[in-house]
């Protein structure tokens, strides 16, 4: 079993421009509450996110065409001074209503690919994790990410 995990762990590719590791098996994870994922990120919003955020004020903005092509999202969380507008004293002020993008972080699990944020200090590559409900939480972004990775592979490129 351990040997099996070590072999799988070698099958990792760093996708530099996405700051993510492409893997075939998810590592273990335990959040250390660093709030790094709340700063300088595109927090894409989908239908159920917008319903959850309803009534919470001017907290989201339009995505750029490039962001929309990758994420499939028309809206994203608004950032101020590089941080999400919901971030206060290192904590999410509306944690129960946070978007799916935040709920699944640091994982993005589509039908074809498994990605892990390379900047998250809570990831433990020495142990194996579970996929849980990451498929459901990633379903908004999955088509765009799968398309992007397929095109990237086709180009044989390490650049977007």
Applying CB under 6 A, which residues contact ligand SF4? Answer: 31-38, 43, 77, 84, 86-87, 92, 98-99, 102, 105-106, 120-122
Least separation in angstroms between residue 21's CB and ligand SF4 is 13
Least separation in angstroms between residue 64's CB and ligand SF4 is 18
H/E stretch holding 75 reads: strand 75-77
* DSSP secondary structure string for all residues of 86-103: TEETTEETTGGG--HHHH
| CB closer to ligand SF4, 87 vs 145 | 87
**Closest to 23 in 3D by CA, of 128, 152, 135:** 128
| CB closer to ligand SF4, 79 vs 152 | 79
8 A C-beta contact, residue 99 and residue 137 = no
Beta bridge partners of 22: 13, 115
| CB closer to ligand SF4, 7 vs 61 | 61
| CB closer to ligand SF4, 34 vs 136 | 34
């Amino acid at each position: 079993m351990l040997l099996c995990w070590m072999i799988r762990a070698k099958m990792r590719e760093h996708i530099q421009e996405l700051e993510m590791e492409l893997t075939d098996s998810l590592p273990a994870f335990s959040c250390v509450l660093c709030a790094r994922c709340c700063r300088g990120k595109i927090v894409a919003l989908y239908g159920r996110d917008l319903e959850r955020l309803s009534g919470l004020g001017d907290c989201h903005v339009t995505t750029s065409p490039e962001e929309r092509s990758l994420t499939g999202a028309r809206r994203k969380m608004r950032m101020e001074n590089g941080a999400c507008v919901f971030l206060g004293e290192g904590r999410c002020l509306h944690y129960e209503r946070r978007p799916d993008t935040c709920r699944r972080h640091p994982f993005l699990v589509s039908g074809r690919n498994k990605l892990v944020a390379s900047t998250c200090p809570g990831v433990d590559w020495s142990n194996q994790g579970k996929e849980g409900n990451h498929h459901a939480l990633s379903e908004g972004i999955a088509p765009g990410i799968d398309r992007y990775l397929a095109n990237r592979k086709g180009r044989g490129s390490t650049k977007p």
